[in-house]
């Protein structure tokens, strides 16, 4: 099981020492975890993911080039056409970048909306539907994923913390977890927005 730690901002080098598989940097200005400045040098085993919300294509391309991002997490209402366009533009510039399209879930979800994205993104990410696009701090009902119709690997996100370890273990025994590729964590491991609790993250990673 892969681990993605999102909302990086204030203590990135310390988090990187835990060697998660992915670190997420939020490039959406209204977020309290909005990332500015330079990403510190990271171990090669860690993929840098930029998180965007309905961003202008040029801005996304600029951030990929500036920070050498290896993943794009699209957290807004980006269309399949947008995903295709951005993949094409990145390919032209010789950037090898995975596209992760986010879908927010509360009690139920119509998985038909995934169909147009099947061939235009590399992963899905399922997050909790809330006031903000991410970082809302609570989990959705994972049993909804019993109806997951795809074979595309997905990230499981939304308020996941240390108190969810038993729930994760139970979930991993179910058929719907077959394509669960990674666990994504953020706000439940924060002392303040963008400042991660290293000790708790270490415990979680070891348990995972």
CA geometry: angle 102, 59, 152, nearest 5 deg: 25
pLDDT score of 132: 60
Angle between helices 80-92 and 57-67 (to 10 degrees): 40
pLDDT score of 137: 57
Domain count, the chain: 1
User: Torsions phi, psi of 47, nearest 5?
Assistant: -90, 135
Per-residue pLDDT 10s for the chain (208 aa) are: 999 999 999 999 999 999 999 999 999 999 999 999 999 999 999 999 999 999 999 999 999 999 999 999 999 999 999 999 999 999 888 888 999 999 999 878 999 999 999 999 999 999 987 666 545 456 888 999 999 999 999 999 988 999 999 999 999 999 999 999 999 999 899 999 999 999 999 999 999 8
46 sits in the region (left: phi over 0; alpha: psi -120 to 50; else beta) called beta
Range of the domain at 110: 2-207
Of how many residues is the chain composed? 208
Which CATH number does the domain housing residue 79 bear?
3.20.20.70
Q: Which of 104, 132, 100 is nearest to 32 (CA)?
A: 132
pLDDT score of 93: 87
């Amino acid at each position: 099981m892969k681990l993605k730690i999102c909302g990086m901002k204030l203590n990135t080098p310390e988090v990187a020492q835990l060697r998660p598989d992915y670190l997420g940097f939020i490039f959406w200005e209204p977020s309290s975890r909005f990332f500015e400045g330079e990403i510190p040098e990271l171990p090669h085993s860690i993929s840098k993911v930029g998180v965007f919300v309905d961003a202008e294509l040029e801005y996304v391309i600029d951030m990929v080039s500036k920070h050498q991002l290896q993943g794009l997490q699209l957290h807004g209402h980006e269309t399949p056409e947008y995903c295709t366009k951005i993949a094409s533009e990145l390919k032209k510039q010789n950037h090898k970048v995975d596209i992760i399209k986010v879908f927010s879930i509360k009690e139920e979800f119509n998985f038909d909306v995934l169909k147009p994205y099947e061939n235009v993104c590399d992963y899905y990410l399922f997050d909790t539907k809330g006031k903000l696009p991410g970082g809302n701090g609570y989990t959705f009902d994972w049993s909804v994923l019993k109806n997951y119709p795809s074979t595309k690997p997905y990230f499981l996100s939304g308020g996941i913390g240390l108190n969810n370890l038993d729930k994760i273990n139970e979930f991993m025994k179910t058929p719907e977890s077959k394509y669960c590729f990674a666990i994504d964590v953020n706000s439940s491991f924060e002392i303040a927005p963008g400042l991660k609790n290293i000790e708790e993250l270490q415990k979680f990673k070891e348990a995972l």
